[in-house]
Structure 1
Amino acid sequence: MSEESKPEASKKGKGKARSGEGEMSNISNISRELVEQLLRANPSLAGEMQGMDSKKIEEVMRGMSLQDISTGMATGGKNQKDMASYKFWNTQPVPKFGEDEPLPDGPLRENDLARVKTVGAELIEGFEWDTVDLTDDQQVREVYELLTHHYVEDSEAMFRFNYSASFLHWALKAPGWIKNWHVGVRVTSTKKLVAFISGIPVTLRVRENTLQCSEINFLCIHKKLRGKRLAPVLIKEVTRRCNLESVWNAIYTVGVVLPKPISTCRYFHRSLDWLKLYETGFSPLPTTSTKAKQVTKYALSANPSTKGLREMEVKDLDAVHDLFTRYMERFDLVPKFTVEEIGHWLLNGGSKYDERIVWAYVVEEEGKITDFFSFYSLESSVLGKKETIRAAYLFYYASETAFSKSPDAKKELKVRLNALIHDALILAKKFNFDVFNALTLLDNTLFLREQKFGAGDGSLHYYLFNWRTSFINGGIDDKKNVDDENGSGVGVVML
């Protein structure tokens, strides 16, 4: 839900946390001044503590670690998804702040289909539940309009994600998609769609356990209804519908801290058209530089240089699936895709729309696929202007170099990934993208600096519903800088 251990540390190879499982110690002594400072930096948390006396606030915050608070600091209130409240999440089967670690991996609530209600909870007067039919172009348009005007935007209200009809078909109609998991709320009198939340089925591996999950995304509520407390009702309803399919676990991401992240990654951005990004207010001009220097800094070659690089085709599916599956064994939180799912996510999902969403490339040497990489398109509207920022987002990739037995295996992988991602930047520029975005997940810590990615001001927190696991490194250290040494254990790219 949607703005990088030592090599020998774990069996999975990456992401196993250091002592304390990646968390800083709890706040035992906290001053009133520090409380006020932390609450100003985390408006979501501040909203939950309105009305509490100072002693109660201090008590609550002592139960949180510094990392729980600091990694969720938002740049402002407008860029937060409406993910309900701390009070709500404390009633749900999710890990709680202050729990002793390490605790064994496992479910937090027993699964009992007999206790799942067959009808949704009653909504406030004037509104009704609906199942949005994404095979109906008109209803797809309604979801698009709702997201366009009421979904996530930046803190200065300058940019907003622009989810096209093609993107929604790709993101919400993955293999095995369930119509009943596309949940809407409509005005009873006009049938206007005013709220939406979605889920798609996904198989996850969390360390040694394989879970059948729903991937929850696109929780959006009309701005005029933000005070109606619809978010927890929507979350409960999509949970109920997933439970009816005997799916008891979910994965979701948010830009602020809720109880309780299993990992945190940071956004990084690589300018492709720096001048446009500057003129639209996306990128600043450093005080020590000039426009000409910035344009030169981010210049790229006209063509990629990797020998054997070509666009991925249907005939490559089995080979790419095999490489992807082996590569992902090195991480702690990963999707387990079938060949059909690989085809959907990397070959544009067979969309009936002309707009291209995803670009995937393979490297073929002597008839063997040795590498692949992919990126997808998600535009942002520049609010108040008839202009868009074309953003490419790094998606999945893999390389046979990761399986080298050489003593310099990590260095070899770093060299190879830098070459591949550099070519990805060139291709994205060729297709008129303005910026290339990536998180500190997978092996991204090996190339972000070298490829001139700059740190963004947003973090992305990963959550699991009804599943406990200790903290997984997200590719950043306690100061939110790229963690070159430990890397990331996260291998799930959320849209």
Structure 2
Amino acid sequence: MTDSGLLDKKLGVEDGGAGRKSKKKPKGEDAWRPLGPRDPFAMLDALPEKKQQEIQKALHLFALGPSPPRSLQEAERHTYRFWDTQPVRRLKDNATSHGPIVESEAGVRKDPYSLPQGFFWDTLDLNSSSVLRELCALLNDNYTEDDDNTFRHDFSPEYLQWTLQPPNWLTQWHCGVRVSANKKLVGFIAAAPAHLRVYETLRQMVHVKFLCVHKKLRLKRMTPVLIREVTRRVNQQGLCQAVYTAGVVLPAPLSSCRIRERPLNVQKLMEVNYPGLKPDVSLQRALRFNRLPEVRKRCHLETPPPIQDDDGKVTDMVSFYGTAFRVLNHPIHTDLRAAHLLCAVSSVPEPTDLIEDALVLARAKGFDVFTALNVMGNTTFLTKLKFSDSEISLHYYLYNWQCPDISPDKVGIVLPS
């Protein structure tokens, strides 16, 4: 059964039931509306949240097939029809050289790649409040979702502008796909400028992020077309490399890092069954274990907070950013706020006090959980400050660049998305 057929059954709009009763003649304004099946997107949006989740779960089970591999063992048995055609590292390659996998071509394709019939490209103007609201709606309902369908991203227009409009951003790198019939936004991919050092090579490239296709259109194979199109637009600016991250294994990770989590609002996290907490621990025990100081050791710490000595010299700095999630079908809680460590630089070998102050500050600002990757020198404080050792991995990739693997402690960037 296709996803559209299943959706029609759920919504009760199959033509098979139309013969039981004669259709009433529309009156008033409805008389001017064309007869025929209604817009399935509008019908889905009109349903209660719980019913939408049931339909989306069914679509996932019946339409999307096997889930993407999340381990190297699974990836070795997986067939990558699209990525095998791209200039990326291969899973079993032990690269020793450094440089582009393919050299840039003299001519870059001028025309956009073809989309399936009934869809068209639209370069999104993120300075438009209405376009930002459309993009938020697409990403919040379709970008990522936990396996239990309990939490869903709740991106704000301000957050999207912050992450998609860094210095030197280009409008043409915000690629949208719309339905021709109703102009609904159903696909998106973006690129942002990035200046990276890969081993000893400094390279101007882009950070590709927010690849998203509406759940009902996953069988249209739009993802490869979105990637090719943003690649074409980036190539037009003379750039041939990109960095990107994913929670699944693609060909082939440059580095695989772990996401570590530190509870801040323990009671709320337990009440919403947050997966980062151990289910067999009582509330009182969890509160004692995750207790933080009431005040910061450095009273002037703010976000982002550079710490200065008596001579005005900056000695320490820590920065974090926040994202929000919707909590679905909970009788009390409707949202969850997560803080994410962006960077920490300290004049002392172990910046434990600095990060602990950041935890206290994040809790005071209303965040429920604090996350950090085991990159850079973060391992020096993660265990001491009781960050849980989760099984969630984030894989770093480079497009069209060959080099040896990089261990997590040598990764020096965190890519918000």
TM-score normalised to structure 1 length? 0.67
Aligned equivalent of 2:73: 69
Aligned equivalent of 1:362: 306
In 1, are the aligned partners of 2:196 and 2:205 still within 8 Å (CA)? yes
Query: Cα 1:217–1:293, aligned 2, differ >3 Å: closer, same or farther?
Result: same
- Calculate percent identity across the aligned residue pairs: 39
With CA pairs under 8 Å and 6+ residues apart, which has the higher RCO, 1 or 2?
1
Query: Cα 1:493–1:287, aligned 2, differ >3 Å: closer, same or farther?
Result: closer
Matched, 1:93 2:40: no
| Deviation for aligned residue 1:85 | 7.1
Distance in 1, matches of 2:369 and 2:281, equals: 19
- The partner residue of 2:239 within 241, 247, 251 is 247
Aligned residue type for 1:493: V
| Cα displacement string for residues 62-82 of structure 1 (whole angstroms, at most 9, x for unaligned residues) | xxxxx7337x79xxxxxxxxx
| Cα displacement string for residues 78-103 of structure 1 (whole angstroms, at most 9, x for unaligned residues) | xxxxxx9711111000011222x342
Aligned equivalent of 2:415: 494
Matched, 1:224 2:199: no
Matched, 1:138 2:130: yes
- The partner residue of 2:320 within 366, 369, 375 is 375
Query: SS state of the match for residue 310, structure 1?
Result: coil
The farther-off stretch of 281-290 and 268-277 is 281-290
| Deviation for aligned residue 1:490 | 0.5
The farther-off stretch of 283-292 and 198-207 is 283-292
Distance in 2, matches of 1:491 and 1:210, equals: 13
Query: Cα 1:253–1:285, aligned 2, differ >3 Å: closer, same or farther?
Result: closer
The farther-off stretch of 293-302 and 165-174 is 293-302
Distance in 2, matches of 1:197 and 1:286, equals: 36
Query: SS state of the match for residue 410, structure 2?
Result: coil
The farther-off stretch of 296-305 and 145-154 is 296-305
| Deviation for aligned residue 1:396 | 1.4
- The partner residue of 1:177 within 169, 178, 191 is 169
| Deviation for aligned residue 1:287 | 6.5
| Deviation for aligned residue 1:301 | 1.4
| Deviation for aligned residue 1:288 | 6.0
In 2, are the aligned partners of 1:159 and 1:383 still within 8 Å (CA)? yes
- Gap regions ≥5 residues in structure 1: 1-41, 47-66, 74-83, 312-358, 402-412, 475-487
- What is the Cα-based RMSD across aligned positions, in Å? 2.0
| Deviation for aligned residue 1:384 | 2.4
Aligned equivalent of 2:11: none
Query: SS state of the match for residue 422, structure 1?
Result: helix
Matched, 1:399 2:346: yes
Aligned residue type for 1:387: T
- The partner residue of 2:101 within 108, 119, 140 is 108
Distance in 1, matches of 2:241 and 2:136, equals: 27
Aligned equivalent of 2:301: 310
Query: SS state of the match for residue 241, structure 1?
Result: helix
| Deviation for aligned residue 1:295 | 1.1
Q: How does 1:121-200 map to 2 (within 5 A)?
A: 121-200=113-192
| Cα displacement string for residues 20-68 of structure 1 (whole angstroms, at most 9, x for unaligned residues) | xxxxxxxxxxxxxxxxxxxxxx93149xxxxxxxxxxxxxxxxxxxx73
In 2, are the aligned partners of 1:442 and 1:491 still within 8 Å (CA)? yes
Aligned residue type for 1:137: S
- The partner residue of 1:460 within 366, 391, 394 is 394
Query: SS state of the match for residue 68, structure 2?
Result: helix
Aligned residue type for 1:374: S
| Deviation for aligned residue 1:155 | 1.1
Distance in 2, matches of 1:284 and 1:204, equals: 32
| Deviation for aligned residue 1:285 | 6.3
Query: SS state of the match for residue 224, structure 2?
Result: helix
Aligned equivalent of 2:38: none
TM-score normalised to structure 2 length? 0.80
Distance in 1, matches of 2:285 and 2:100, equals: 53
- Gap regions ≥5 residues in structure 2: 1-65
Matched, 1:430 2:364: yes
Distance in 1, matches of 2:171 and 2:129, equals: 14
Aligned residue type for 1:365: D
Aligned residue type for 2:304: A
Query: SS state of the match for residue 256, structure 1?
Result: coil
In 2, are the aligned partners of 1:94 and 1:260 still within 8 Å (CA)? yes
Aligned equivalent of 2:110: 118
In 2, are the aligned partners of 1:285 and 1:291 still within 8 Å (CA)? no
In 2, are the aligned partners of 1:278 and 1:284 still within 8 Å (CA)? no
In 2, are the aligned partners of 1:441 and 1:490 still within 8 Å (CA)? yes
| Deviation for aligned residue 1:298 | 1.2
Aligned equivalent of 2:385: 451
In 2, are the aligned partners of 1:274 and 1:283 still within 8 Å (CA)? no
Query: SS state of the match for residue 306, structure 1?
Result: coil
Query: SS state of the match for residue 205, structure 2?
Result: strand
Distance in 1, matches of 2:159 and 2:317, equals: 22
Distance in 1, matches of 2:276 and 2:375, equals: 25
Distance in 1, matches of 2:320 and 2:244, equals: 20
In 1, are the aligned partners of 2:99 and 2:403 still within 8 Å (CA)? yes
Query: SS state of the match for residue 82, structure 2?
Result: helix
Query: Cα 1:85–1:287, aligned 2, differ >3 Å: closer, same or farther?
Result: closer
Query: SS state of the match for residue 400, structure 1?
Result: coil
In 2, are the aligned partners of 1:264 and 1:461 still within 8 Å (CA)? yes
Distance in 1, matches of 2:143 and 2:319, equals: 26
| Deviation for aligned residue 1:107 | 0.1
Distance in 2, matches of 1:141 and 1:287, equals: 37
In 1, are the aligned partners of 2:208 and 2:244 still within 8 Å (CA)? yes
